Amino acid sequence: MTDALRLLVIEDNDALRASLGELLTGAGHVVSLVADGRAGLQHALTDPPDVVVLDLGLPGLDGVRVCQALRERADRHIPILMLTARDTLDDKLRGFDVGADDYLVKPFANEELLARCLALSRRHRAGASHVQRIGTLEIDRRSGQVRRAGRVLDLRQTALRILLILADAWPRPVTRSELIRRLWGDDPPESDPLRTHLYLLRQALDKPFDAPMLVTIHEVGFRLEADV
Ligand code: CA
């Protein structure tokens, strides 16, 4: 059994909100359901949940604005799982800029949503802050800044997203297909941009240092290895 989480769902689609409520309550969590951004923000500020499941497209105050306001006004880091209607890179980048911790593209599998909520709350509880440390690597999820051995790494958006996915899973490996799905949903680009982004990530994360942290596991995928 896992611990029950306190979850806040901010979703304006009545059917989806109701089904999320059923799903999450059915899994043993305590769920608050809110249909609009302004009320959701207020709820999150006055009674901070373990995880906010936040729809991007909301009337009035949209998901990006809610996310921004929550980051500015909450006295601690509240993990946010952003739901996006389409898997557009723009939405992801915009969402990341304002501090969403993770994304899920609609339509999504119920198990996936549950797994992401658990992962977010675990990470948050384990770290008790928005900074995750793996060896000398420090990932600040609020600012998006990453340091290794005290040195700030210059990471482009997609390379940073890959690093965050690997850090979420750490110390487990992430398969190539999971990486692609998490980056591009069900509509991956036809070329093989993952190779390019992994190369860029390695250039920033590993090249200046002695030991590589991004490790390829043959026929499995990729994982981070602590350097100390
Ligand atoms: Ca919506």
Of the pLDDT bands very low, low, confident and very high (cuts 50, 70, 90), residue 1 is very low
Check residues 145 and 88 and name the one with the higher pLDDT.
145
**Rounded to the nearest whole angstrom, what is the distance from the C-alpha of residue 13 to the centroid of ligand 1?**
6
Write out the CATH class of domain 6-123: alpha beta
- For ligand 1, a single-atom ion, the residues with CB < 5 A are 12, 55, 57
What's the pLDDT tens digit per position in 93-130? 565 666 788 888 888 899 999 999 998 888 776 555 67
Which residues on adjacent β-strands are paired with residue 71? Answer: none
pLDDT of residue 169: 77
**Rounded to the nearest whole angstrom, what is the distance from the C-alpha of residue 107 to the centroid of ligand 1?**
12
Check residues 187 and 14 and name the one with the higher pLDDT.
14
Judged by average pLDDT, the poorest of 3-17, 28-42, 65-79 is: 65-79
**Rounded to the nearest whole angstrom, what is the distance from the C-alpha of residue 48 to the centroid of ligand 1?**
22
Check residues 144 and 204 and name the one with the higher pLDDT.
204
What's the pLDDT tens digit per position in 156-178? 888 998 999 899 877 778 888 88
pLDDT of residue 188: 77
Judged by average pLDDT, the poorest of 50-59, 74-83, 203-212 is: 74-83
What's the pLDDT tens digit per position in 181-227? 888 877 778 787 899 999 999 999 999 999 999 999 888 899 999 99
Of the pLDDT bands very low, low, confident and very high (cuts 50, 70, 90), residue 147 is very high
Contact 64, 94 (CB under 8 A): yes
Contacts 24+ apart (CB under 8 A), 28-35: 28/1, 28/2, 28/4, 29/4, 29/5, 29/117, 30/4, 30/5, 30/6, 31/7, 32/6, 32/7, 32/8, 33/9, 34/8, 34/9, 34/10, 35/10, 35/11
Domain boundaries, the chain: 6-123, 131-224
**Rounded to the nearest whole angstrom, what is the distance from the C-alpha of residue 58 to the centroid of ligand 1?**
5
Write out the CATH class of domain 131-224: mainly alpha
Residue percentage of the chain with pLDDT more than 70 = 91
pLDDT of residue 137: 96
Check residues 45 and 168 and name the one with the higher pLDDT.
45
**Rounded to the nearest whole angstrom, what is the distance from the C-alpha of residue 57 to the centroid of ligand 1?**
4
pLDDT at 149 over 60: yes
**Rounded to the nearest whole angstrom, what is the distance from the C-alpha of residue 56 to the centroid of ligand 1?**
6
pLDDT of residue 95: 58
Out of 3-7, 82-86, 101-105, 136-140, give the one with best mean pLDDT.
136-140
**Rounded to the nearest whole angstrom, what is the distance from the C-alpha of residue 22 to the centroid of ligand 1?**
18
